Amino acid sequence: MPKPPFGPRPDRRPGPAPAGRKRPSHRPEQVAPDRTTPDVAPDGLPQVSLVRRGVERWQAGHPWIYRADLNGDPALEGGEVVRVVDGRGWFLGKAFYSKQSKISLRWLSYEDVPVDVDFFRQRLALADAMRQRALPGETTYRVVHGEADLLPGLVVDRYGDCVSVQFLIPGTEQRKAMFVELLTELYKPRAIVNRSDVGVRALEGLPQEKGVLTGSLPGPVAYDEGLVRVRADLLEGQKTGSFLDQRENHVMASQYAFGEALDCFSYVGGFALQLATRAKSVTAVEISDVAAAQLRANAAANKLSNVDVVVANAFDYLRDALDEGKRFDTIVLDPPSFAKNKDAIAGALRGYKEINLRAIQLLRPGGYLISASCTYHIDEQGFEDMLASAAADAKRRVQIVEKRGAGKDHPVLLNLRETRYLKCFVLRVL
Ligand code: SAH
C-alpha cells in the first residue's frame, strides 16, 4: 500500500545536492529560465518545475498546482504523468498535467515510484478497502471520490453489479481503457457506464460524453436504503444516476419524520420515500417531470401510498403554501448547488435563506427541518449563519440536533476544502 502522502519522509531526492539536505523552500528559490521544451527525467517522464509559491503549496499539502506556479509553459499536450521538481531540480512528486485548465498539476504521488497500471490498481484497492470497512456488506457506494482518494479527476460509483464512472481531466480521460480493465478486474460488473457528461470537462477542453463502456445495462438499477428500495437510471439519471452522497442522510431522515411531511427538490425520492415510512403523508416537490415520474414509480414499488408528488418550482410552492396557511411537521430541503463560482455566493445565500425561512415558518412547534446544501463555495459556518438569520427573521427558536456531511464513502481531504462540500443540518423548530 502506498504510504500516506504527507507524512514525514526521508530525503531521497536524486540530484547533485548532498544527502541530508533540508527541504528547499526556506531558501531563496533558484528560478530556472523559461523553457518551452520540458526536461526529460531519467525515468522517461517529462519534467516540470515549480516556482517557489508552487513549492509552498506542495508543502502545505494542497493537491493542485496552478499554471502561474509553473516555471515556464511546458510543451506538453495534456494528460501526461509528469515528474515535478523545484527550481533546483529536487524531486517533489508525480502529477497529471493539464494543458487547458488553470489547474495545471494534480498530484498523484509524493514518492518516486512508477505510475503504471499497478499503481492505479493499488489506488483503486486502497479506495475500495475503506468502503468495505466503513460500510460492511454494502455494494452501492462511491468507490473513488477524486482527489480525496488520491485519484484526481476520477469519480467511480458502484451500484451493485453496475459501475458508473466520470473522467474529468485529460489524465483520466486518456486512461479510460485502463480504468475499465481495472474496474472489471475488481468488480466483474455487468456494465460500466461513462457519465462524463459534465460541464467541468469544458475547463479541460474535453467534450461531454455518455454511454456504456462495457457490458450491457438492461434498465434502471435497484439498491436498498434502509427499508426502501430505490431504482436509479445510470444512463439518463442526474449525476452518475443518483445522489449517493446523501444515502446516509436519507436513512437518518426516516428517524425524525412524523406527521405531515414535505420534501422539496425530491429528485427520484431519496428523502421522500424515507419520510413516507414514518410520516402520515408526504408531499414531494420536484421541478423535473422525468424525476417526478420516477419518484411515483419508486413510491409504488415500495407500496408507499402516502406520497403525493407535485411537479413545481419549490420556491413558488413554499411561498404559496405559506399564503394558503399550510403547516407541516417535517420538512426536507435538498436543493441543487446555487453557486457554481465565488461571485455567485451572495445570491446563493439569499436563495438558501428564502427557502429555509419559509420552511421554518411552515413548521408546527416541535417540527423538524432537515436542510442541506451542496454548494462548496459556502462552508458549514456560512450555512449555519444563514440558518441563524432565517430563524431570527422567522422569530422562531431553533435547535441544532445534528450537523452532518456526505456519507463515509465521500471522504473529505484535509487541505482540500472543496471535498467538504455537503452540509446537512437537522434542526428542530420550537
Ligand atoms: N434530494 C435528492 C437530490 C436532489 S438534487 C436526493 O437526495 O436524492 C436537486 C433536485 O432539485 C433535482 O432533481 C432537480 O431537478 C430539482 N430542482 C432544481 N431546481 C428546482 C426547483 N426550483 N424546484 C424544485 N425542484 C428543483
Q: What is the DSSP string of 250-295?
A: HHHHHHH--SEEEEES-TTTHHHHHHHTTSSEEEEEES-HHHHHHH
What lies within 8 Å, CB to CB, of 346 at 6+ separation is none
pLDDT score, position 143: 98
Check residue 153 and give left, alpha or beta (phi > 0: left; psi -120 to 50: alpha): left
What tens-digit pLDDT sequence spans the chain (430 residues)?
A: 444 444 334 344 444 433 333 444 444 444 444 444 567 777 789 999 999 999 999 999 999 999 999 999 999 999 999 999 999 999 999 999 999 999 999 999 999 999 999 999 999 999 999 999 999 999 999 999 999 999 999 999 999 999 999 999 999 999 999 999 999 999 999 999 999 999 999 999 999 999 999 999 989 999 999 999 999 999 999 988 899 999 999 999 999 999 999 999 999 999 999 999 999 999 999 999 999 999 999 999 999 999 999 999 999 999 999 999 999 999 999 999 998 888 899 999 999 999 999 999 999 999 999 999 999 899 999 999 999 999 999 999 999 999 999 999 999 998 887 788 999 999 999 9
Asked whether the beta carbons of 295 and 407 are under 8 A apart, the reply is no
State residue 17's pLDDT score. 39
Distance CA 266, CA 290 (A): 12
- pTM of the predicted protein model: 0.89
Task: Give the residues surrounding ligand 1 with Cβ less than 6 Å away.
Answer: 238, 243, 246, 265-267, 270-271, 285-288, 291, 313-315, 334-336
- Cα 403 to ligand 1 centroid, rounded to whole Å: 21
**What residue's CA is closest to ligand 1, atom 20?**
287
Pocket test for ligand 1, best of 250, 267, 337 (most atoms within 8 A of CB): 267
Number of the ligand 1 atom closest to the C-alpha atom of 243: 8
Closest C-alpha residue for ligand 1 atom 11: 265
Q: Which atom of ligand 1 is nearest to the CA of 249?
A: 7
d(CA 312, CA 288): 8
**CA of residue 387 to ligand 1 center, whole Å:** 20
Locate 32 and state its grid cell.
530556472
* Residue 152 grid coordinates: 484526481
Cα 7 to Cα 3, 53, 63, 110, distances in angstroms: 8, 21, 14, 10
Q: Which residues are catalytic?
A: 374
Separation of CA 79 and ligand 1 centre (Å):
34
CB atoms within 10 A of CB 336: 12
State the Cα–Cα distance between residues 421 and 361, nearest whole angstrom: 27
- Residues with Cβ within 8 Å of 144's Cβ and at least 6 positions away in sequence, in order, are 124, 127, 151, 154, 155, 156
Confidence at residue 415, expressed as pLDDT on a 0 to 100 scale? 83
Neighbours of 353 (CB within 10 A): 16
What pLDDT score does 25 carry? 45
CB atoms within 10 A of CB 430: 11
Residue 341 pLDDT: 85
Residue 154 · residue 194 · CB < 8 Å: no
